[in-house]
Structure 1
Amino acid sequence: MGMRESASWLAPGRVNLIGEHTDYNDGFVLPLAIEFGCRATVSPGPAGRLRFVSAQENDAVELRVPALQPERVTGWAAYPAGVLWALGLEDLPGLTVTVDSDVPLGAGLSSSAALTCSVAGAANDLLELGLSPRELVTVARKAENGFVGAPTGGMDQLASMLGEAGSVLFCDMRSLDVRPVPFDLDAEGLALLVVDSKAPHQHADGEYAARRRSCERAAHVLGVPALRDVTDLDGALAKLAQDSEGEELVKRARHIVTENARVTDVVALLDAGRVREIGPALTASHASMRDDFEITVPEVDVLVEALLSAGAYGARMTGGGFGGCVIALVDKDTVDAATRAAVAAAASRGFAEPRAFVTSPAAGAHALDGPDAG
């Protein structure tokens, strides 16, 4: 087959405005693509050989095509290798994959989804596979779940691939239906401030798996397919309280059910153009993650309190938890003061100095060259 010389795609990281841990409960999430992203270029290479190069890593990773099997590749290269595996091709040609990402690592901004989605898009173009953006989401998710072995719920890939400038993406994680919802901060004189706590992610994987197990057990006890299906919260909590793990299941389920309701409340406010009014839901989401889902750490709790004290309309941790970033909805002209308040609060507790930046919804993954360059 006649392959062109190369194909390049850019895919963004994401911030989740609200809807945390609801994705694997068939629930609702409201992410936005951010301006940080990963650029991937895929080009033909020597037959039977795959080469992975990252601007962020010293050494290239090389392997033979037959070695493309789950858990045979470790480290960062497992993500792009997983994408090539997830394409499911009978005869994969030799390829070189080069990536360059400015998504902060370990901040919970989905550097991995930016990586897998950009590689999937570029490989699709180079190999002329004709996959739709939806199908590329599936490929990227399969790479993380089936090859790397990371239990992501699919939100990150949807946001990276299908995000739109000026909008958050309302995702139903059961049907995978998505709808852009207007989130034009500039027009409102607002800013979304992202503050990376720099807290190390300790035990995050084991704790994530434990939360997922609790949610599945709660759904089983309640006799529903997923916690998304709970309609009578009080009745559900009373039933869960009878279980041997009652106290824990009550808390975990209460977070998921109330978080889904907060997502739909925020969507209704944004649809009505009442952007400032989403603040209390963001703050309530944080309290629920802190007290019921128990996934926050002192570093992020302190930042949320500081940002609210500095006049934020609402603030919450975003991402899977145990570190990562806090987001705050603030008036544009208070960004500097809010940032100073966050830095001072961290310093007063002896925490690492946080890094703050302002973001607004960016475009999703797109080609960087050729006829469909975006």
Structure 2
Amino acid sequence: MTACDRAAHAFRTVFDAEPDGLWCAPGRVNLIGEHVDYAGGLCLPMALSQVTAVAVRRRDDGRLRLHSEGFDPVDIDPGTGRVDGWGAYVAGVVWALDPPGFTGVDIAVVSEVPVGAGLSSSAALEAAVALALAELCGLPTDDAGRDALAAVCVCAENDYVGAPTGGMDQQIALRGRGGYALLLDCADGSVDHIPVDLARHGLTLLVVDTGTGHRLVDGRYGERRTAVEDAVSRLSVRSLRDLHAPEDVDSLDDPVLRRRARHVVTEIARVQDAVARLRAGDIRDLGPLLDASHRSLRDDFEVSCLELDTAVDAARSAGALGARMVGGGFGGSVIALCESSRVAQIEGAVTAAAGRHDLPRPRFLHAVPSPGARRC
């Protein structure tokens, strides 16, 4: 049974009615370009086959009623009440979109995207709800419309939920394309679709969920974003995108700010290199770029942790072509570019390494470039 089928079943069970429609949006992995979206940089995410599905029905009393298995239900008037917890991601979209003629909705949620794994379960939920409300209320959902919906979802997460995310996750959730990664220019919002044909080259992009959840609202993510903004101010540039070499940040007296800025500058360069290699069909050459990205995130940006480093090191030692942490950091997931024939061996090595360090047993999934938000 698909996530959409399960959402429809949950809706009928909870609300004793048929939904007006079913929508879903994917989680994501970012091939490369981490912690640069809010710095006007370039990133290269791709949508996963794992989705969050919502079954939605319009109401006529203005209320917002939400159900998701394993979470507390929500029943409020969004015009007079505020939602905390998981429901804030839905209520925030309603608040930020302010859809014309909105008279309330019932929503049942089913998700295949692991929560807290750094695979953007929150953006998947936001995007599915935003697309559903847009279609139900007659708002545009073409490419320009999806760009606008992504901005709505960012506003919901930044200003309603209070998580200072940069916008990459919402863009890929709404604008992903099967078989492609999304090259997103965060300076002007432009996108390009870059083919990623793993199977043709006998490769698998393995995702390792370390089982160590992370929260972007706990302050550390915000501290990194503030540091980047401080570096921009001290360097008197519009954004770190204006810098083109690691030595361009050497004038920063603060060693912490210098490291933070160096990560952003070098990570943007790695994205450009990765795109060139993908366009040339040299997908195996992404491995060293993934390794360099992880070192930069670990040492310069300092957002890695024991669980992530252990998984990266074990995957590399077992034969992965390259590996790095993904997402905001401080827990979550790792990606490893692997020969498909060696996936089982690498999974075993990562599991054994976690056991030696008395860490949670990791879970695995294979990242397949998939479509963005859609009606089921």
Q: Same fold (TM over 0.5)?
A: yes
Q: Is the aligned partner of 1:239 residue 2:251? A: yes
Counterpart of 1:34? 48
Residue of structure 2 equivalent to 1:208? 221
Shift of 1:203: 8.3
Query: Is residue 2:122 matched to residue 1:109?
Result: no
Distance 1:203 1:358 in 2: 24
Structure 1 ranges of 4+ moved more than 6 A: none
Say which of 27, 52, 56 aligns to 1:13.
27
Contact 2:102–2:137, Cα closer than 8 Å, also in 1: no
Secondary structure, in 3 states, of the residue corresponding to 2:23? Answer: strand
Aligned ranges for residues 286-301 of structure 1 at < 5 Å?
A: 286-301=294-309
Q: Is the 8 A contact 1:204 1:321 kept in 2?
A: no
**For the structure 1 residues 277 and 53, does the alpha-carbon distance in structure 2 shift closer, same or farther, using more than 3 Å as the test?**
same
Change (3 A) 1:125 1:202: closer
CA distance in 2, matches of 1:231, 1:276: 25
Match of 1:316 among 315, 324, 331: 324
Is 1:41–1:119's contact at 8 Å kept on the other side of the alignment?
Answer: no
Residue in structure 2 matching 1:192, options 197, 200, 205: 205
Task: Tell me how far apart the structure 1 counterparts of residues 215 and 38 of structure 2 sit (CA, whole Å).
Answer: 21
Equivalent in the alignment of 1:282: 290
289-298 vs 120-129, which deviates more?
A: 120-129
8 Å CA contact 2:78–2:95 kept in 1: the answer is: no
Q: Does 2:88 align with 1:78? A: yes
Structure-1 separation of matches of 2:100 and 2:344:
54
Shift of 1:78: 0.8
Asked if 1:155 corresponds to 2:168, the answer is yes
Contact 2:204 2:339 in 1 (8 A): yes
**CA-CA distance at 1:88 after TM superposition:** 2.2
8 Å CA contact retained: 2:45, 2:182 = yes
Question: In structure 1, how many angstroms separate the alpha carbons of the residues matched to 2:215 and 2:311?
Answer: 18
Q: How far did residue 343 of structure 1 move?
A: 0.3
| RMSD (Å) for aligned C-alpha atoms | 1.6
Deviations 1:168-210 (A, max 9, x none): 1111011111111011101110000000111243787311111
Hey, what's the Cα distance between the residues in 2 that align with 1:166 and 1:94? 36
Alignment coverage as a number of residue pairs: 356
Match of 1:271 in 2: 279
Equivalent-residue separation in structure 2 for 1:202 and 1:91 (angstroms)? 34
SS at match of 1:66: coil
> How far off its partner does 1:56 sit?
3.8
Identical positions, percent: 46
- Measure, in 2, the Cα distance between the counterparts of 1:12 and 1:85: 22
Counterpart residue type for residue 220 of structure 1: S
Query: 1:49: how far off?
Result: 1.6
CA distance in 2, matches of 1:111, 1:353: 20
SS of 1:205's equivalent in the other structure is coil
Asked whether the 8 Å contact 1:304–1:315 carries over to 2, the reply is yes
Alignment TM-score, normalising by the size of structure 2: 0.91
Q: Is the 8 A contact 1:7 1:123 kept in 2?
A: no
Unpaired runs of at least 5, structure 1 = 369-374
Deviation larger for 196-205 or 117-126: 196-205
The residue aligned with 1:100 is: 110
Within-5 A mapping of 1:220-369: 220-234=233-247, 236-241=248-253, 246-368=254-376
- How far, CA to CA, are the matches of 2:45 and 2:70 in structure 1? 26
Q: Where does the alignment leave 5 or more consecutive residues of structure 2 unmatched?
A: 1-17
* Residues 68-102 of structure 1: CA deviation (Å, up to 9, x unaligned): 5xxx2101111111111111246521211221111
TM-superposed deviation, 1:46: 4.0
